[in-house]
Structure 1
C-alpha cells in the first residue's frame, strides 16, 4: 500500500550511553515529555485567513492559530525547498554556496555515518527516546529517499539516514514520490509526460485522489498507533500543495469566485533595481500547456493571473482540509494536551508579483511564510509582530522538550518571546540567502546586498512606507544603508568570502 522504512537504533548500548551523555532530557524523571506534531507545507505564502486575508478559505489553519501563537513576520533562510528545509532541520544558515541547493541534505547527510553532532533536530529527539515518523516531504525529496525524477525509488537511500524510525508515503497510483509530487488525479505526472501538462487541475474527485489526501489518511492512522506506544513521538507530516502543479478537487475551487479574486498589487518590476534580482519563472514555464508563458518582459493577462491565483488558493483550501483531519485526530486520540503543534511554510511564492511566478528571489514575497506554534501549556491566540527566522524553530522545540541543542545552532529559542509576548529583548532580525545575495530583515527595513557585477547591487526597502517593496531607495538613503550594513555583514557565514 505504501512505502515504509524501518530504521534500526544505535548499533550498541555503549553508543547509546555515549550519545545520551551529550544529549539528555533536562526534565525530571516524573515529567512526561511533550510530543511534537510538525506540519510542513510546500510553497505556502502567508495568504491565509489568520494572516488577515479574509478571501482565503483556511478554517483549519485559522483554528490552529487561534489555539496557538502566530508569527506575523517569519522569514525563511533560503527561498527554495531543499535548502530552506535543511536550515530548518539543522538550525543553521547556509555555510557555503552548495547550501543554497535543493540537494544539500542529500549531499551532506545521506549515506553518511552517524556522528556526535545530530544530523537534524528530529535525530536529536530520536536519541532522547522519541519515536520519530516522517510522512511526505520533510527534507527535499518528497518521500525522504534520494533518487532522480525519472529513476526508480527501489532501494534508494534515505535523505536523513539517522532521523527516522519510520519514513512513509502512499504513492502507489503514481509509482514514486517524485511522480506523486508532480501528479494529477488520473495517475499521470509532469515528469513522465515531459512537461506537456497544465500548471493546474480541478478534478471532480475526492480528497484521496491526490497524494495530500493520502498523506492525511496515513497521518491519522499513525496517530492511533503512536497513542498505543506510550512513548513520546515526533510525527512530521509534509504536505505537497500548494506547490506546482496547483491541483485540487473541484469542490475547493468552488469555494472561490474567480472574477472577484485580487491580482497582484505589484505586477511590475520594482523601481531602481536590476532584473538580475528577479527570475524568469522557469519552474512555472516547465508546465508547457499553460495558456500563457511568464516573463520579466511582460505581465500575463489579468484573466490568466486570476485563474492561476484561483488554482493556488484552491490548493491552499485543499491542504487546509487535510491539516484539519490530522488536527481532529490528535484531539480524538486524547493527544492534544501534551502535543506541541508547529505549522511551517518552507518559503513564500510570487504570484505574479514583479512579473514573477515562483520563489527564488530575495524579496519579501519569496521569503515570508507562515509560522504557527501551539504549545498547549502556553497562552493562546497571540500574534507576534517581531521578526523571527526559520533557524529559531530548532532551539525552541528543544527547549520545550527539555533537550540541549548543539552549540552550533544559529537560531535563538522563541520560548521567552512566547511567554512574555512583549519581545523587548528579542533580536528582531532575520537573514536570508539566494541569487548571490544576502538579505537582512528588521522590523522596518529590508536591506539586500548582491555579490555580482550587475548594478545596483544594494537594495533598501522601507516597510513602513513601502510594505510591497515596490521601490529600491538605497541610493537616496546612504545613512540608513551604512547603519544597517554591519548588521547585514554579521549574517555572512562565509558564503561570499
Structure 2
C-alpha cells in the first residue's frame, strides 16, 4: 500500500545557519525604511494527549510519523520532558496554563480553565510586547479572557476540552479585540487547524517576526479520522505494552472518570489494541497536517528563519497499568515529546536533561530576546539547547490532586499515594524497568534510595509552594474530591453516552 505523505526531505532544502539566527545582535539600524527583523519566527505545535513514544523516531517502530521524524533528525529532542501534573481531572487545562504562565502547578488556579489568573504576563503577550505578531489556531483550554489578553490574531479557535473532530465549534478573532459567534465546522479538526495556520503563513507580509501556535485536538478522543489512516495499521500486529493490565492494582484516587470509560472493565487485549490503533491513526493523520504547515513555510521562503517546536500537553495510558486516561503520575501520562528544529538548533541531538514543559516560556523568551517576567519559575533551556550545557536541576517533582505525589531523580522514580486515609508507594528503576512494572518500594535493598527520594520529594514540593507534609498521616491537606463526586448527574450521563459512542467506533459495547 502506498502511503500518501509529503516527503519530509522536501521541506529541508538548506542547512540552517547559526549566523542567520544571530544577525539581530549588534546590527546597525537603517535610518530609512523599517529594518528586516532577523529574529526567528516561532511555530509552536501542541498535540493533545500525545505521549513521548508517539513518534516513530523516538523508539516506537509501530507508529507512522514521517514529518515528526524529520524534525527529530534535523533538530534537538529533549527525551526527559514532563508536565508537572494537575490539581483536577481535566489535566490538559492546568498543563496548558503552566505553558502560558511559566508557573508551577501549585501557583495556578486548580482548574485553570476559564478562571485562570491573568495578572501575569502570558507568554504570547510577552512576545507581542517584543514586536512579535501572535497568532493562534486550535484548542484553547484556558478561557476566552486569557486568550484575548495573549493573542492579537487568531482563526478557527476552539474554546473547550474536547469535541467531535468533524463537528468543531470554532470562533474567529475579529479586529484583535472580540470573538465571533460559534460556527460548527465539519472539516476534520486537524485539517481545519492546519488550514488556518497555512493561510496565516501564506498571507504574512509584515517585516517583524511572528509567533504561530497550532494547538491540535488530536489524538484526544473521540478518535475519529479518515478511514485510510486506520487502514495503515493492522490490529493483530499492534503489540500491547509490557505493562498492560486488566485493572490497576489499587485505588489511585481517580479510578472512575470519563477517560477510564473508553474501554470496558476488566481491560481486554483486543479492546486495548483497538484503542492503540486508533490512537496511532490519529497521530499519523495529524503528522501529515504538520507536514503541510512546514511545506507552507518552505514555499513562503520562511523556513530558514523559523524555529519549529513540537510538544504535547500530557500523555495517555491507553491500557497501560490497567488505565486509559492521564490522571496519574506514570511515565505514559506525564512524559511528553519536546523537539526544537530550526536556525541555530543543533541537529540530531538527544538531550537527557530533566525538563518541565513550563520551561518553554523562558526558553522562548531567550530565543526571541524577550525579557523573562519574574513570575516565571521555569528554567530556560537556551544554553543546553544551543551548547548542551547542564541544567542546574537534579530532580523533577509531580502532583495529581492531593492523592498523588512523585519525584524523578536520575534513573529512579518514586510515587506516593494517599487515598481515603491509606498510603501506598511505588519505586521504579527506570533504566532497567522503563515500563514501571516492578515495584521496589519497601524492599530492604532499596530502603536507602527510597528514603533519599522521599526527602528530596518533600524539599522539591516545598520549593514549588506545595503545602503537603509527606510525613503526616493526612499530608496536612484536605482531600480534593474525585471527579465523579464533583460533577452533575447530567454531565455524567452526557459523557457516558460519548464514551459509549467512542467504544462503538472500535466495535465494542457495554
Do Structure 1 and Structure 2 share a fold, with TM-score over 0.5?
Answer: yes
What's the counterpart of residue 65 of structure 1?
72
Cα distance between partner residues in 2 of 1:84 and 1:76: 7
> 1:94 and 2:71 equivalent?
no
Of 371, 393, 414 in structure 2, the residue corresponding to residue 427 of structure 1 is 393
What's the counterpart of residue 494 of structure 1?
465
Gaps of 5+ in 1: 1-25, 147-156, 171-175, 190-206, 288-292
> 1:106 and 2:75 equivalent?
no
Q: SS of the counterpart of 2:215?
A: strand
Cα distance between partner residues in 1 of 2:460 and 2:155: 36
Q: SS of the counterpart of 2:154?
A: strand
What's the counterpart of residue 265 of structure 1?
242
Query: Alpha carbons of 1:334 and 1:266: their partners in 2 closer, same or farther (altered >3 Å)?
Result: same
> 1:209 and 2:187 equivalent?
yes
What's the counterpart of residue 373 of structure 1?
340
Tell me the CA shift for residue 140 of structure 1: 1.1
Equivalence map 1:219-238=2 (5 Å): 219-226=197-204, 228-238=205-215
Tell me the CA shift for residue 428 of structure 1: 4.4
Any conservation in 2 of the 1:135–1:237 contact (CA below 8 Å)?
A: yes
Query: Alpha carbons of 1:430 and 1:270: their partners in 2 closer, same or farther (altered >3 Å)?
Result: farther
Equivalence map 1:293-332=2 (5 Å): 293-295=263-265, 298-299=266-267, 301-332=268-299
Cα distance between partner residues in 2 of 1:420 and 1:270: 44
Of 197, 203, 227 in structure 2, the residue corresponding to residue 250 of structure 1 is 227
Deviation sequence 1:410-439 (CA, Å, 0-9, x none): 221112212333x54542432222142222
Cα distance between partner residues in 1 of 2:39 and 2:223: 38
Query: Alpha carbons of 1:161 and 1:441: their partners in 2 closer, same or farther (altered >3 Å)?
Result: same
Cα distance between partner residues in 2 of 1:389 and 1:269: 31
Tell me the CA shift for residue 77 of structure 1: 1.6
Query: Alpha carbons of 1:85 and 1:231: their partners in 2 closer, same or farther (altered >3 Å)?
Result: same
Equivalence map 1:387-402=2 (5 Å): 387-402=354-369
What's the counterpart of residue 125 of structure 2?
123
Deviation sequence 1:149-201 (CA, Å, 0-9, x none): xxxxxxxx43333211013217xxxxx7559x42154x499xxxxxxxxxxxx
What's the counterpart of residue 52 of structure 1?
59
Any conservation in 1 of the 2:168–2:189 contact (CA below 8 Å)?
A: no
Of 410, 428, 431 in structure 2, the residue corresponding to residue 443 of structure 1 is 410
Q: SS of the counterpart of 1:220?
A: helix
Any conservation in 2 of the 1:169–1:177 contact (CA below 8 Å)?
A: no
Any conservation in 2 of the 1:386–1:428 contact (CA below 8 Å)?
A: no
Of 452, 460, 469 in structure 2, the residue corresponding to residue 483 of structure 1 is 452
Tell me the CA shift for residue 270 of structure 1: 9.3
What's the counterpart of residue 182 of structure 1?
163
Cα distance between partner residues in 1 of 2:305 and 2:245: 48
What's the counterpart of residue 8 of structure 1?
none
Gaps of 5+ in 2: 1-23, 29-36, 170-184, 469-510
> 1:82 and 2:102 equivalent?
no
Cα distance between partner residues in 2 of 1:317 and 1:208: 20
Deviation sequence 1:445-465 (CA, Å, 0-9, x none): 112233555433433211123
Any conservation in 2 of the 1:82–1:105 contact (CA below 8 Å)?
A: yes
What TM-score, normalized to structure 1? 0.77
Any conservation in 2 of the 1:270–1:472 contact (CA below 8 Å)?
A: no
Deviation sequence 1:51-102 (CA, Å, 0-9, x none): 1111100001111111111111111122610011111111111225x6442x
Cα distance between partner residues in 2 of 1:232 and 1:482: 50
Any conservation in 1 of the 2:353–2:391 contact (CA below 8 Å)?
A: no
Deviation sequence 1:383-416 (CA, Å, 0-9, x none): 1122211121111111111122112322211122
Deviation sequence 1:187-236 (CA, Å, 0-9, x none): 499xxxxxxxxxxxxxxxxx98312101111110101222x112111100
What TM-score, normalized to structure 2? 0.75
Query: Alpha carbons of 1:395 and 1:283: their partners in 2 closer, same or farther (altered >3 Å)?
Result: same
Tell me the CA shift for residue 472 of structure 1: 2.7
Any conservation in 2 of the 1:284–1:357 contact (CA below 8 Å)?
A: yes
> 1:283 and 2:259 equivalent?
yes
What's the counterpart of residue 132 of structure 1?
134
Cα distance between partner residues in 2 of 1:35 and 1:169: 21
Cα distance between partner residues in 1 of 2:397 and 2:371: 24
Tell me the CA shift for residue 280 of structure 1: 3.5
Q: SS of the counterpart of 1:402?
A: coil
Any conservation in 1 of the 2:247–2:322 contact (CA below 8 Å)?
A: no
Equivalent pairs, count: 412
